[in-house]
């Protein structure tokens, strides 16, 4: 008598568990981006932000060291209350969500940017921001 399903072997269980772990770890924010490509994409951000250490704030804050920092906490920039009180830490996942749709992620923030629709562009920008510490 044939069963309608396959019997799980230890090899199959380990393979499926390993694959599931990789898929969870490699979500869109965790995807490895290319910092060099991210630097080129960051050119779109330069109208409002600087990135070099000690650089000035513009309409938006200097983003040097933003990766891993708490949102709304850079010295010398007047943030919206929404950003300053968000409690968000700029992890890869949070940066990915924010860069997708800034107004939706932190409602009431002042960033006038629609977002980046392409996951690979967000991954590249995140890699570039991570390199700027």
Cα separations (Å) of 11 from 8, 15, 17, 20, 92? 8, 6, 10, 14, 33
pTM for the whole structure? 0.76
pLDDT tens-place string over residues 7-45: 555 444 444 344 333 333 334 444 589 999 999 999 999
d(CA 43, CA 84): 25
Q: How far apart are CA 68 and CA 13, in angstroms?
A: 36
Burial (0-12, 13-18, 19+ Cβ within 10 Å), 63: buried
Kindly report the CATH number that applies to the domain delimited by 35-131. Answer: 1.10.760.10
Separation between Cα atoms, residue 22 and residue 17, nearest integer Å: 9
pLDDT tens string 49-89: 999 999 999 999 999 999 999 999 998 999 999 999 999 99
Domain boundaries defined on the chain: 35-131
């Amino acid at each position: 008598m044939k069963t309608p399903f396959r019997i799980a072997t230890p090899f199959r269980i380990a393979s499926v568990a390993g694959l599931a772990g990789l898929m969870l770890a490699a979500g869109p924010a965790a995807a490895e981006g290319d910092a060099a490509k991210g630097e080129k994409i960051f050119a779109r951000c330069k109208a409002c932000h600087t990135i070099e250490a000690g650089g000035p704030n513009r309409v938006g804050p200097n983003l040097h060291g933003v990766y891993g920092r708490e949102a709304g906490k850079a010295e010398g920039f007047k943030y919206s209350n929404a950003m300053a009180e968000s409690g968000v830490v700029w992890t890869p996942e949070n940066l990915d969500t924010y860069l997708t749709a800034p107004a939706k992620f932190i409602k009431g923030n002042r960033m006038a940017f629609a977002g980046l629709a392409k996951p690979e562009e967000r991954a590249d920008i995140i890699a570039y921001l991570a390199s700027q510490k």
